[in-house]
Structure 1
Amino acid sequence: MGRKYIDCREFPSDINCTVALSADSESELLEAAVGHAVQAHKHSDTPELREQLKSMFHDGTPPLGGPAAAA
């Protein structure tokens, strides 16, 4: 499995979050993303949140210039 990432810059939020996380395994990325979602965005750690986050994973690494740079 190659590197995966999730990027908060793709999703508007009230805190204008610019965090992007990446990891070599989906399980490691999921745990980091859940921790961030709970702490920074005040979500609850639920199975639904975990499925939603997994659906937002991308292959590779986050673009330096943000999501628009990847387009």
Structure 2
Amino acid sequence: MARKYIDCREYPSEMNCSIAIYADSEDELLEAAVQHAVSVHGHEDTPEFRETLRRMLKDAPRAAA
């Protein structure tokens, strides 16, 4: 399974947040992203918001050996 990430800079924000979160599973990443969005940015945890974040998840580039 490819490592996933989400970059807060890609979501419109007045805070200009520069956080990027990486995880080995999509579910783990989504949970971390929701926690960040709710606690830092004041978003409401709704099914619609989770789906918006899920669509923003991307495959992380492979690390060079």
Q: CA RMSD in A?
A: 1.0
TM-score, reference length from structure 2? 0.87
The whole-number CA distance in structure 2 between the counterparts of 1:10 and 1:31 is 18
The whole-number CA distance in structure 2 between the counterparts of 1:6 and 1:37 is 12
Residue 67 of structure 1 corresponds to none
Question: C-alpha displacement at 1:46, in angstroms?
Answer: 0.5
Residue 65 of structure 1 corresponds to none
Alignment gaps of 5+ in structure 2: none
Q: Moved runs in structure 1, 4+ residues, more than 2 A?
A: none
Question: C-alpha displacement at 1:34, in angstroms?
Answer: 0.3
Alignment: residue pair count: 61
Tell me whether 1:9 sits opposite 2:9 in the alignment.
Answer: yes
Question: C-alpha displacement at 1:21, in angstroms?
Answer: 0.3
Question: C-alpha displacement at 1:7, in angstroms?
Answer: 0.1
The SS at the match of 2:6 is strand
TM-score, reference length from structure 1? 0.80
Kindly, what percent of the aligned residue pairs are identical? 64
The whole-number CA distance in structure 1 between the counterparts of 2:10 and 2:51 is 17
Residue 34 of structure 2 corresponds to 34
